[in-house]
Structure 1
Amino acid sequence: MSNVLNEFLTTNLTELKENGLYNEINVVQGANGAKITIDGKELINLSSNNYLGLATNERLKTVAKQAIDSHGVGAGAVRTINGTLDLHIELEEALAKFKGTEAAIAYQSGFNCNMAAISAVMNKNDAILSDELNHASIIDGCRLSKAKIIRVNHSDMADLRAKAKAAVESGLYNKVMYITDGVFSMDGDVAKLPEIVEIAQEFDLITYVDDAHGSGVMGKGAGTVKHFGLQDKIDFQIGTLSKAIGVVGGYVAGTKDLIDWLKVASRPFLFSTSLAPGDTKAITEALSILTESTELHDKLWENGDYLKQGLKELGFDIGHSETPITPCIIGDEKTTQQFSKRLMEEGVYAKSIVFPTVPKGTGRVRNMPTAAHTTDMLDEALAAYAKVGRELNIIK
C-alpha cells in the first residue's frame, strides 16, 4: 500500500474512533423485520426504514419469484437500449397514478434520482435554494449540476422568501429551483409545502420535493405532496422504493414532458442497467397493497404515537417530530454510542446517529417503529430505554 494512503487511513480512522464518530456495521442474519438477529441474538428492531413491513411481505415475495421465472434475474441492459421491460412500464404507470401525476420514471435508487434529476435540469447558469437539512443525495445532486447553491435556513419561510427574491431579482440566473425533503429523516418534521408553493408561485421557482421518508407514510400512503393536495403545484416529486415500499429503487413523478426529458438527459437512466424484474414486480405489488387499504399506514402511525408517548413520559428529549420517526436526542457523541450499545445488550437494536449525519453535539438514537411491531415489542423496548436511560443518567 502507498505510504501516503496508509498514513491518511490510519490517522483519520483513529481520529473517528477517539471522538465517538466511527460507525460499526452490524450484520443482520436473515430478514430485516420487526425483530432481527445479530451475532445470534434476537433483537427488537427500531432502526429499519421498512416502515410498513413490506420488505418481508408474502405477496411481494410471491410476485418477485414469478417475475424471476418469467423475465430472469436481471434486465440485461440500460433502459435506452433494450433494458426497458413491460414490467417497467407497468410500474411507472402505477407510480404516476399513485402520486397523482401525468407520468413517472423509475431509477435504481433514491440516491440516483437526485443525482439524475437535478443535473438534468439545472446547470451553471442557474441557482438552487436548498434547505440546510436536506439529505446528502440532494447535496451531491446539487453539486453535480454546477448550479449556484444557496443554503436556506431549515423550514424558515422568511429566509426562503428573502433568498428567493434576491436570487431572482439579481438577474444572474436563468432558472431558480427550491429543493426540500418532504419529511426530514433525522428529526421527523414535515416541510411547509403550502407556504413553499406560495413563495414559489410569487417568484416562479421550480419546486422539488424529495419524499423518501414521506411516501407510504404521509397522505394515507401517497406522500407529503398528496397530504397537502399539491400534486399540480410541485414540479418534481422524488422518492425511494426501498423504505415504506419495501424493495429497492427510486422514482421521479411529474408532467409527461418532464419525464420525457429525464429519459433523454438523466445520466443514471442512460448509463446504468435498469431495475431487476423481480424487484420491479414487487414494487408494483406494494403499490397495489397501499392502494387497496390504509391498514398498514394506520398501524404505522398507531405504533409511532405509542412509542413517542412512552419515551416522552420517561423523560427523553424526542424533539419535534411530526411523523412516526422518533429521535431520542442525547447530545454527546460518545454517550450516544454507549447508549445504543447498552440498548443492544438489553435486546433492542436502535442505532446511534452522530456527525456527519447530524450536526456535532446533537447525537441521537433514531427510532423507527413500523407497522409490523406489536404493542408487546414496543413495551419491551420502552422498558430497555428506561433501564439504560437511568443507568447513564440521561433520564431520572
Structure 2
Amino acid sequence: MYANKTQVEETLQQIREAGLYKEERPLFGPQGARVATERGEALNFCANNYLGLADDSRIVAASRDSLDRWGYGLSSVRFICGTQEQHLDLEKQIAAYLHRDDAILFSSCYDANGGIFSVLFGPDDAIISDALNHASLIDGIRLSKAKRFRYANRDMEDLRNQLQAARDAGAVTTVIVTDGVFSMDGYYAPLPQICDLADEFGALVMVDDSHATGFVGPEGRGVAAMYGVEDRVDILTGTLGKALGGASGGYVAAHQAIVDLLRQRARPYLFSNTLAPSIVAGAAEAITLARAADGPREHLEKVSNLFRTLMEEAGFELLPGNHPIIAVMFPGEDGARTATTVASRMLELGVYVTAFSFPVVPRGEARIRVQLSAAHSEEDVQAAVEAFKAAVALG
C-alpha cells in the first residue's frame, strides 16, 4: 500500500487533516486517579484501572520482592527455560478464580486471542464472531482456516441466522466468539441468550472478558458469573493489564485438553518471551486482592452511576448502560474534531480524557470514552463533569 516515503507522509498528512491523528501524552509518574502530565496534575478518567490497583502498595511490594527471589527476566520462551514455579502457580490461581480446569499465560490478551483460533479450529469448522469484537479477536480469527461468519452486535436473531448458515455449510465444530464487554460502548454481551443458542445448535462459546474480570460479577469473576452462566462458557480469555494490576499479560482459561493443546501449538506462546517474574508476582497479588474487593466494586458502581446521572442532567449524549465505561458522544461529520478539541481543553482544566474516532469507532460516532475507577471519589466525579461543561462551553 505504501511503496515509498512520500506515500507514507501523504497518508499521515491526510490523517492529521481529518482530525484523526492520535497524539501520545506522556505521564510523569505512576498510574492512578490523579496523574502527573506535561500540563500538571490531572484527574485521570481514561485508564482501565477499574479497581484502582495499578499503583497499589501491596502489588508494588509483591513485585519488588520478586526481583530478589526470581530475578528481572528469563531470556527464554516457556518451553525452553522460561517457566518458573510462580508461572505455574499463577496459572492455577487464574483457573481456580474463573472456575476452569486450567489456564495458560501469554504476554498479552492480544497474543492469547491471536494464538487460539488457528490451533483449535480448522477448515471444517466455523467461527461466528460479533461484529464489534476487539481487534485481537478479529486478527486471531483471520489466522484460522475455519469458515468465518459475523453477526450484528448483540443481535440474537442475526446470530441464529449465522449459526444456521454454519450448520448448512457442514461445519463440524462451531464456536460463537464475543467480547464480554464491548470496550468502546460499555455494553455487556447477552451471554444467557448466546448460551441458549449455542445449546440449540451444539456450538461452543468463547468470551474475551478483558473489560470485566476483577470487577464485574461475584468476586469480580466476569460477565458469565454476573449472568450465572459460567458453566456454559467453554473458553475465557482475559488480561492482567486492566483491573488486575494494570501491567501486562493475558491468559486463556478453559478445559484441560484445550489448555494442553495450546501449550503445544499456540505460536505466540511458543515463540514469545515468558512473562516477566515481577509481573507474575504482582498479578498473583492483584487477583487475591480482587477476589476480596467487594467494597471497591460497590464504590465503583456508585461513582459510575453518579457520573452518568450528572452528565445526563447537564445535557450530554451518553450511550446507555451501567458499566464504568461511559461513552460521551460527539456524533456527526465534525464530531471527531470536536471530541479531540474538548479532550485537549479538559486536560488544560485538569481532567485527562481521550477522544476516540474512526477507525477505532465507526465514522460519525466519535466519542470521549470515560472510565471510572474505584480510586475516584465523588468529588473527582463532580470535577470531571464541571470540566466537560466548561470545555464544551468554550465553543
Cα pair 1:218 1:227 within 8 Å, conserved: yes
Cα pair 1:190 1:322 within 8 Å, conserved: no
CA distance in 2, matches of 1:157, 1:264: 35
* 2:69 paired residue number: 70
* 2:299 paired residue number: 299
CA distance in 1, matches of 2:176, 2:3: 41
Structure 1 residue runs of 4+, over 3 Å off?
Answer: none
- Letter matched to residue 256 of structure 1: Q
- Letter matched to residue 203 of structure 2: L
CA distance in 1, matches of 2:338, 2:123: 43
Cα pair 2:214 2:291 within 8 Å, conserved: no
For structure 2, the residue ranges without an aligned partner over 5 or more in a row are none
* 1:149 paired residue number: 148
Percent identical residues: 35
Cα pair 2:319 2:327 within 8 Å, conserved: yes
Shift of 1:126: 2.3
Secondary structure at the aligned position of 1:81 is classed as helix
* 2:116 paired residue number: 117
Aligned pairs for 1:1-396 within 5 A:
4-171=3-170, 173-220=171-218, 221-246=220-245, 247-331=247-331, 332-392=335-395
CA distance in 1, matches of 2:45, 2:172: 45
Secondary structure at the aligned position of 2:368 is classed as strand
Cα pair 2:343 2:354 within 8 Å, conserved: yes
CA distance in 2, matches of 1:348, 1:103: 41
Shift of 1:169: 2.3
Q: Cα deviations across residues 201-252 of structure 1 (Å, max 9, x unaligned)?
A: 1111121100010111211311111112222211110101100002211111
Shift of 1:4: 4.0
- Letter matched to residue 329 of structure 1: M
CA distance in 1, matches of 2:323, 2:3: 46
In the comparison of the two structures, how many residue pairs are matched?
389
Shift of 1:147: 2.3
Cα pair 2:214 2:287 within 8 Å, conserved: no
TM-score normalised by length of structure 2: 0.96
CA distance in 2, matches of 1:383, 1:134: 33
Alpha carbons of structure 1 residues 348 and 200: separation in structure 2 relative to 1, 3 Å: same
Q: Cα deviations across residues 252-309 of structure 1 (Å, max 9, x unaligned)?
A: 1111111111111111111111111110011111111122331222221111111111
CA distance in 2, matches of 1:176, 1:255: 16
Alpha carbons of structure 1 residues 124 and 8: separation in structure 2 relative to 1, 3 Å: farther
Cα pair 2:39 2:348 within 8 Å, conserved: no
For structure 1, the residue ranges without an aligned partner over 5 or more in a row are none
TM-score normalised by length of structure 1: 0.96
Alpha-carbon RMSD: 1.3
Shift of 1:40: 4.5
- Letter matched to residue 155 of structure 2: D
Secondary structure at the aligned position of 1:365 is classed as strand
Shift of 1:99: 0.5
